[in-house]
Structure 1
Amino acid sequence: MALVTGPPSEDGNGRRGDARGAEPKQDRSRATRQRLLESAVACLAEHGWGGSTVSVVAEHAGVSRGAAQHHFPTREDLFTAAVEYVAEERSLALRRSTHRLASSGPASDPERVAAAVAALVDLYTGTLFRAALHLWVAATHEPQLGTRVTDLEARIGRESHRMAVELLGADESRPGVRETVQGFLDMARGLGLANLLTDDRERRERIVDQWARLLYRQLHGDG
Structure 2
Amino acid sequence: MFCRVTVKVVRRTQAERSASTQRLLLDATVACLVELGYGGTTTSAVADRAGVSRGAQLHHYGTRQRLMGAAVEHLAARRLEWVREKAAGLPDDETRPRRALDLLAEALSGPLYAATLELYVAARVDSALHEALVPVEQQLTRELRRLCREYVSDDPVLVQLTLDLLLGRGVGSLLSPVRPQRQRQLLDAWAGVMAARGRS
Alignment TM-score, normalising by the size of structure 2: 0.88
Counterpart residue type for residue 122 of structure 1 = E
Matching residue of 1:196: 174
- 1:68 correspondence with 2:57: yes
**Matched residue SS, 1:49:** helix
The question of 1:210 aligning with 2:186 is answered no
Q: What is residue 158 of structure 1 aligned with on the other side? A: 142
1:88 aligns with 2:77: yes
**Distance in 1 (alpha carbons) for counterparts of 2:151 and 2:18:** 37
How far apart in 1 are the matches of 2:35 and 2:191? 31
1:135 is aligned, of 110, 119, 133, to 119
Kindly report which structure 2 residues correspond to 1:1-223, keeping only aligned pairs within 5 A, or say none.
Answer: 23-101=12-90, 104-106=91-93, 109=94, 111-168=95-152, 170-171=153-154, 177-202=155-180, 203-219=182-198, 222-223=199-200
What SS does the corresponding residue of 1:80 show, helix, strand or coil?
A: helix
Change in Cα spacing, 1:112 to 1:68, as seen in structure 2 (3 Å) is same
The structure with the largest helix share of the pair is: 2
Q: Which structure 2 segments of 5+ residues have no match?
A: 1-9
> Which of the pair has more CA radius of gyration?
1
Cα drift, residue 148 of structure 1: 1.5
CA distance in 2, matches of 1:35, 1:215: 43
Task: Give the total of aligned pairs.
Answer: 191
Q: Which amino acid aligns with 1:214?
A: V
Shift of 1:139: 0.6
Q: Is the 8 A contact 1:49 1:135 kept in 2?
A: yes
Aligned-pair CA distance for 1:217 = 4.0
TM-score, length of structure 1 as denominator length: 0.79
Structure 1: which 5+ residue stretches go unaligned? Answer: 1-19, 172-176
Identity of aligned residues (%): 36
Cα deviation for residue 154 of structure 1 reads 2.0
How far has the Cα of 1:127 moved from its partner? 1.4
Aligned-partner residue type, residue 213 of structure 1: G
Asked if 2 retains the 8 angstrom alpha-carbon contact of 1:98 and 1:167, the reply is no
Conserved 8 A contact 2:87-2:103: no
